Structures are given as structure tokens and as C-alpha cells.
């Protein structure tokens, strides 16, 4: 692959992305000279199309925690109401 004088290196990057696995050579030609290099494209990793969420180690049930929160809120409200009624009498 060669990028000639006046060419855009960015357009070469798009071409690089489509290269097959293996060794490739790129040559950039400009007014001040030519730059050549060899690079290796690794094979694409095999993608597992598993759509499950990863295990985080948190196996607790959300409903349990919501119920515990509700009990706590009702307990605090009940304590506040009880202490207010006790002061009023």
C-alpha cells in the first residue's frame, strides 16, 4: 500500500483496518522522501455472542433488599409517630 504526495494518511488508516491477517508493507511518498515500514495484522479474536451478563458475585435478590428498606422506613415512621403522640399527651 502506498500513500502518494498529496494523499491523506487518514485515508490509509481506513484501508489498514480492512487488511487480512499477516505481514504487510506501507510506503508513504512525499517531497522529502519515502518512508517504508512493515507491520503485522493479527487475526481477529473469536467473539462469543453470549448475551448473558457477566457474573459479578452479587447473588442477592433485589426484592429482599427493597422489602428490608420498606420495613426500616415504616419502623422509623412508627417510632416518630409514637414519640410525638407520647409528648402531646
Q: Residue 74: its pLDDT value, please?
A: 95
Q: Residue 76: its pLDDT value, please?
A: 95
Set of cell numbers at residue 85 = 403522640
pLDDT digits (tens, 9 = 90+) for 9-30: 555 666 666 777 888 888 888 8
pLDDT digits (tens, 9 = 90+) for 32-85: 888 888 888 888 777 767 677 777 777 788 899 999 999 999 999 999 998 888
What's the rounded Cα separation, in Å, for the pair 24 and 1?
A: 8
Q: Residue 12: its pLDDT value, please?
A: 60
First to last CA, the chain: 92
Predicted structure pTM score: 0.35
CA distances (Å), 50 to each of 44, 57, 71, in order?
17, 18, 38
Amino acid at each position: 500500500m502506498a500513500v502518494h504526495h498529496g494523499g491523506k494518511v487518514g485515508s490509509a488508516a481506513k484501508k489498514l483496518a480492512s487488511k487480512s491477517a499477516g505481514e504487510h508493507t506501507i510506503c508513504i511518498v512525499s517531497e522529502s522522501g519515502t518512508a517504508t515500514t512493515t507491520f503485522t495484522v493479527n487475526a481477529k479474536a473469536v467473539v462469543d455472542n453470549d448475551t448473558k451478563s457477566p457474573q459479578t458475585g452479587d447473588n442477592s435478590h433485589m426484592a429482599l433488599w427493597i422489602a428490608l428498606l420498606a420495613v426500616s422506613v415504616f419502623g422509623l415512621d412508627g417510632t416518630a409517630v409514637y414519640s410525638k403522640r407520647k409528648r402531646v399527651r
